[in-house]
Structure 1
Amino acid sequence: MTAVSLTPAGPFSLAASVRFLAGFTPASYSGTADEVLRLAFPADDGHSTVAAAVRQEETADGEAGGVRAEFTVYPGVPDGDLDGSPADPVSAGAAGPGPLSAGEPSWPDAAVRAQLARILSLDVDGSGFPELAAADPVVAGLMAEFPGLRPVCFHSPYEAAVWAVIGHRIRMTQAAAIKARLAERYGRRVQVAGRTLHAFPTPPALRAINRIPGLTEVKIERLHALAEAADAGELDAARLRAMPADDALTALRTLPGIGPFSAELILIRGAGHPDVFPRHERRLHAAIATAYGLDETASGDIGRLAGIADGWRPYRSWIALLLRARAERIGRHVS
């Protein structure tokens, strides 16, 4: 097990991240009272799996402090019949491939640390984030309502793309159940801080699955294509973040099953881009119109909404996340 420190630049609350994940259907996350964030996911190398426990320290005056992550990297994929039988080395009586030892080539610890930072949006300097509140009362209200909340991203652009394909034209809860079943049957089973988690299958494992209950053959073919794209580096987070946003979105839309909405999801919530205005997310547009006291027709005026969002630079993705969180909270109270 390796321990690393992640030092937030600007406000950050891990407790707020845990609460957000518990209400985020694609994550299927079940929080605990100890406020430890437990994660299991395919590493950015496309073959290893990471199991991590993340905690936030408190300062002497009780304020949120630095973040500490303890993780283990598991090489390869679990054994098993990927066409029908679950890969479950624990119940089979074997431990399966263990953590990387000193004698094996390893996915560098620094790369895993970078991936964890990206997942929690700790790879972005947020020291200027509070300054947006001074110029915009709506933003000030959002920050007061959700103190320390930053976007909690999908583990990778690969997982975000997979979610987009699985969830196309079906209910979100149904898509989440399918994604969870894939993890339980074909992903690596790990122990993280006293709990059992199942990571989503790595790209090679996903490419070998030929039957997925609840998904059409077309969707399965698209998932295979996404796994191949991930192996080819087309879903590399650093590559996508380094490109001009419009170019990255154009490249993502060339992938099978990825349209404008999904491309934005992958770039913003998969690669963790902090400063993109989603132009194809109608629920967000409605939330902006409501927050800024605009009439209903304004939610369809993308140019006007984009102009409002220009005031959120360089954190447009972050403010959009807070607006979604508010809209979802209001929706839960209304229902």
Structure 2
Amino acid sequence: MDAARIESRGPFSLEASARFVAGFGPAGRPDAATGPLRLGFVAERTWEPTAVRVEQEPSGVVTVVGPDDAKPSPAVVAQVGRMLSLDVDGSGLDEVGSRDPVVADLLERMPGLRPVCFGSPYEAAVWALLSNRVRVTRAAAVRRRIVAGHGTTVAIDGTGIAVFPAPDVLHRVAGDLGLPEVKVPRLRAVADAARDGVLDGETLRSRPAAESLAALREIPGIGPFSAELILIRGAGHPDLLPVAEQRLHTEMTDRYGTADPTTVAEMWRPYRSRVSFLLRADRERRTGEMGGGPGHPACVAG
């Protein structure tokens, strides 16, 4: 076996990530809770269907192996790191908890859980369109139908992992998915944006957040909520408070007794995205309001 290695700077639990994947209904991956975590996704830029096996050593180091026990490319390893939020140094989060009892409580009850993101901003953007103005369960069913009918199955460890179709495939079949007429050109616009690099994760992360959000909102059908979802849960931006996420703001008001989430979130720098994720995950655990397992607005790969 020729494995790539990712150093998990700060506390990280791959087991917690796997439970998250297994409990998120739209992913259709209840198997993720047992054995090593296997992820399927389209590799950014090349759009090749890809699958990896991810394991955590006792030392905390995370290993990533491709099909036939081959070592995946550095680009694929980087994408996996972003999906599991391993590309962010989490060693300072305890200090945030020391000045915010709410955060301290979340860290104690969900040790090592980091945001689990979509395979790419492209997949996040597709989900944003599919789930807009429809129930999560219905959007999830459509996503599973797209994967089953037009995706690719990649075998790893003798297990087939279904991978979402590449942008050119989605563009071609968008009109055959039985979606509302208004969503067809929007899906094609997302496919074009991915192909043209507008949805490239590294690019989105490298610019100021406001600039990337503005660029995302230029894509037809992508509004403020969807743009934040793509940047935070697709590109894995580590330090951005979602201002359009009303359920998060409701949770913050309940916890902190204030209607000013921006001021509260200043205490969380440079981990505003992660603390927001933990708050929403905890709210979903208590309420089940999104009907998709723990922590709705995060997302998972294939």
Taking structure 2 as the reference length, the TM-score comes to 0.90
Q: 1:311 aligns with which of 256, 267, 271?
A: 267
Quick one: structure 1 residues 32 and 21, their matched pair in 2 at CA, closer, same or farther if it must change by over 3 Å? closer
Higher relative contact order (CA 8 A, sep 6+): 2
Check if 1:201 corresponds to 2:173.
Answer: no
Q: Give the C-alpha shift of residue 212 in structure 1.
A: 3.8
Return the alpha-carbon distance in structure 1 between the equivalents of residues 167 and 221 of structure 2.
17
Verify the 8 A CA contact 1:18 1:35 in the aligned structure 2: no
Q: Give the C-alpha shift of residue 210 in structure 1.
A: 4.1
Report the counterpart of residue 93 of structure 1 in structure 2.
Answer: none
Q: Decide which structure has the larger Cα Rg and report it.
A: 1
Report the counterpart of residue 27 of structure 2 in structure 1.
Answer: 27
Check if 1:167 corresponds to 2:123.
Answer: no
Q: Give the C-alpha shift of residue 286 in structure 1.
A: 0.8
Quick one: structure 1 residues 203 and 2, their matched pair in 2 at CA, closer, same or farther if it must change by over 3 Å? farther
Quick one: structure 1 residues 2 and 254, their matched pair in 2 at CA, closer, same or farther if it must change by over 3 Å? farther
Verify the 8 A CA contact 1:165 1:219 in the aligned structure 2: yes
Percent identical pairs in the alignment equals: 49
Return the alpha-carbon distance in structure 2 between the equivalents of residues 290 and 46 of structure 1.
44
Return the alpha-carbon distance in structure 1 between the equivalents of residues 150 and 127 of structure 2.
16
Return the alpha-carbon distance in structure 1 between the equivalents of residues 222 and 180 of structure 2.
16
Return the alpha-carbon distance in structure 2 between the equivalents of residues 35 and 15 of structure 1.
9
- Map 1:1-335; keep pairs closer than 5 Å: 3-32=3-32, 34-59=34-59, 65-72=60-67, 109-292=73-256, 294=257, 298=258, 301=259, 304-332=260-288
Structure 2 gaps of 5+ residues are 292-302
Taking structure 1 as the reference length, the TM-score comes to 0.82
Q: Deviations over 1:92-113 (max 9, x none)?
A: xxxxxxx99xxxxxxx811111
Match of 1:196, SS?
Answer: strand
Report the counterpart of residue 105 of structure 1 in structure 2.
Answer: none
Bigger fraction of residues in helix: 2
Q: Give the C-alpha shift of residue 3 in structure 1.
A: 2.1
Match of 1:58, SS?
Answer: coil
Verify the 8 A CA contact 1:21 1:29 in the aligned structure 2: yes
Q: Deviations over 1:233-292 (max 9, x none)?
A: 000111111111111111110101100000000000000000000000001111111222
Return the alpha-carbon distance in structure 1 between the equivalents of residues 287 and 174 of structure 2.
38
Return the alpha-carbon distance in structure 2 between the equivalents of residues 2 and 189 of structure 1.
22
Return the alpha-carbon distance in structure 1 between the equivalents of residues 202 and 32 of structure 2.
32
Q: Deviations over 1:197-244 (max 9, x none)?
A: 210001111111143444122212111111111111000111111111
Q: How many residues align?
A: 289
Q: Which runs of 4+ in 1 moved over 4 A?
A: none
Structure 1 gaps of 5+ residues are 60-64, 74-98, 101-107
Match of 1:38, SS?
Answer: strand
Match of 1:112, SS?
Answer: helix
Read off the aligned partner of 1:67 and give its amino acid letter: V
Read off the aligned partner of 2:166 and give its amino acid letter: T
Verify the 8 A CA contact 2:21 2:32 in the aligned structure 1: no
Verify the 8 A CA contact 1:39 1:192 in the aligned structure 2: no
Return the alpha-carbon distance in structure 1 between the equivalents of residues 33 and 79 of structure 2.
25
Verify the 8 A CA contact 1:4 1:68 in the aligned structure 2: yes
Aligned-pair Cα RMSD in Å: 2.1
Return the alpha-carbon distance in structure 1 between the equivalents of residues 174 and 34 of structure 2.
39
Return the alpha-carbon distance in structure 2 between the equivalents of residues 110 and 260 of structure 1.
32
Verify the 8 A CA contact 2:42 2:165 in the aligned structure 1: yes
Verify the 8 A CA contact 2:14 2:56 in the aligned structure 1: yes
Return the alpha-carbon distance in structure 2 between the equivalents of residues 32 and 180 of structure 1.
16
Quick one: structure 1 residues 129 and 31, their matched pair in 2 at CA, closer, same or farther if it must change by over 3 Å? farther
Return the alpha-carbon distance in structure 2 between the equivalents of residues 131 and 240 of structure 1.
28
Quick one: structure 1 residues 161 and 328, their matched pair in 2 at CA, closer, same or farther if it must change by over 3 Å? same
Read off the aligned partner of 1:216 and give its amino acid letter: P
Quick one: structure 1 residues 130 and 214, their matched pair in 2 at CA, closer, same or farther if it must change by over 3 Å? farther
Verify the 8 A CA contact 1:42 1:50 in the aligned structure 2: yes
Q: Give the C-alpha shift of residue 132 in structure 1.
A: 0.8
Match of 1:283, SS?
Answer: helix
